[in-house]
Structure 1
Amino acid sequence: MDPRISNEDVALLRNAGMTEEDLSHSIAVAERALDIADRSGAELDYSLLIRGALFHDLGKVRTHAIEHGEEGARLGAELGLSEELQAIMKKHIRGGMTREEARELGLPDMDYTLHKLEERIIIYADRLTDIIGDGVEPDPLRAEERFEEILTSIIRYGKNDATRTRYLRYHEEIQGLIRRE
């Protein structure tokens, strides 16, 4: 585990009831986000990035349904986590939906748009971690290279046109930062 990931945060997730499988995923997302952030050269709030990636799926201690973002934010509030972290938990569903998309999915009527680069890196890292962990493309750099192809050809990763478009926009933005280095 990357030493920048707090053992106390990992213990907090375990104590909250997160399964080892979900915890492994969250740690992998945090590590992937750190790798991307380090390569981007962008000026970032690393604490927000690491903790946001680590806690993004906190709601899965209560449900694995689409409402896990909302549940995570509620549980995060109960645990005393910052509003910024609660927002990441809430907004990571479908990569930062619009208000209209949220209503269509039966979620609270709010704008889930991702405004911070840290949030977009977390979402990108989350999708990459799924692709890598599922064995679709086990090499992290190749997963980044094949990101568009994978999201376009495997519906599970792209979800729908709006979600896929968002993920591809984040991919382009973040890869643009990495390439400039």
Structure 2
Amino acid sequence: MARPCSSPPLPLRETSGVRGIPGSYIMSYTLQQSDIDILRNAGMSDADIKHSRQVAEKALEIAGRIKGNKIDEEFVGRGGLFHDLGKSKTHEMEHGKVGAEMGKQIGLPGAITDLMEKHIRGGLTAAEAEELGLPVKDYTLARIEERIVIYADRLVDIIHDGIVTVKSEQDAEERFEEILKTYPKYGKNQITLTRYLGYHRELQAKMRGQ
């Protein structure tokens, strides 16, 4: 099994006013130590495991702040944790495809392996995939859970890379558009930038209850 039941969940984070973000929210899913062990046993570096945990935690936080939507928090948490599994083999563009293949071999759910493959550049079109030399198919993100993970991934990069000075996680969210437009590392190209800004606007609106 990909996730044995013997390992206890990791401790809950504080959910009120987390890291400069006002308000409180309940996260019904907590990360499992057995899933962390899968990453480590696959050969992921400590730095990549740390990043994966940060993405999963940020994604769960965002999911918890969205009101009125039934979010699959286990999918959000595990998707965030496993999205970069392929980096245990390569840090190139192919790490999404490689990770998805690894995930299938260890029995991860199809929704999670799909996200692992699709997360490159935040959900490529078939035309973009062909241009980048990836298998030609539609990688767009149809589920809100997928978009939450990808948005969290970009926020975690901004918060922890040390390239941009942000006062808090709330500051990173408030300046998200400015940062992506200013720093090509985060915005990549125009089509990727537009995609990420779309996720940002959609999810911020949902967190405000709109």
Per the normalisation by structure 2, the TM-score is 0.84
User: Could you say which structure has the higher helix fraction?
Assistant: 1
1:126-141 paired onto structure 2 within 5 Å: 126-135=153-162, 136=164, 137=166, 139-141=168-170
Given candidates 33, 36, 50, the residue that maps to 1:24 is: 50
CA distance in 2, matches of 1:13, 1:67: 18
CA distance in 2, matches of 1:11, 1:84: 20
Asked whether the equivalents of residues 39 and 178 of structure 1 are also in contact (C-alpha less than 8 Å), the reply is yes
CA distance in 2, matches of 1:2, 1:87: 28
**CA displacement 1:105-162 (0-9 Å, x = unmatched):** 0000010000000000000000000000113225111100000000000000000000
Given candidates 86, 92, 100, the residue that maps to 1:73 is: 100
Measured after TM superposition, the shift of residue 53 of structure 1 is: 0.3
The runs of at least 4 aligned residues of structure 1 exceeding 3 Å deviation read none
Measured after TM superposition, the shift of residue 179 of structure 1 is: 1.2
**CA displacement 1:85-110 (0-9 Å, x = unmatched):** 11010000000010000000000001
Counterparts in 2 of 1:68 and 1:2: CA distance versus 1, 3 Å:
farther
Query: Structure 2: which 5+ residue stretches go unaligned?
Result: 1-9, 13-29
Give 2:178's aligned residue.
Answer: 149
Counterparts in 2 of 1:115 and 1:19: CA distance versus 1, 3 Å:
same
Give 2:137's aligned residue.
Answer: 110
Give 1:169's aligned residue.
Answer: 198
CA distance in 2, matches of 1:78, 1:139: 39
Q: Point out the structure with max Rg over C-alpha.
A: 2
- Which shifted more, 87-96 or 134-143? 134-143
Once the two structures are aligned, what percentage of the paired residues are identical? Answer: 53
Asked whether the equivalents of residues 132 and 138 of structure 1 are also in contact (C-alpha less than 8 Å), the reply is no
1:84 partner letter: A
**CA displacement 1:45-81 (0-9 Å, x = unmatched):** 1111100000000000010000000000011011111
CA distance in 2, matches of 1:36, 1:175: 9
CA distance in 1, matches of 2:185, 2:11: 29
- Which shifted more, 59-68 or 35-44? 35-44
Measured after TM superposition, the shift of residue 82 of structure 1 is: 1.2
CA distance in 2, matches of 1:140, 1:37: 15
Give 2:19's aligned residue.
Answer: none
Root-mean-square deviation (CA, aligned residues, Å) is: 1.1
Given candidates 36, 39, 46, the residue that maps to 1:13 is: 39
Query: Structure 1: which 5+ residue stretches go unaligned?
Result: none
Measured after TM superposition, the shift of residue 2 of structure 1 is: 5.1
Give 2:4's aligned residue.
Answer: none
CA distance in 1, matches of 2:168, 2:93: 28
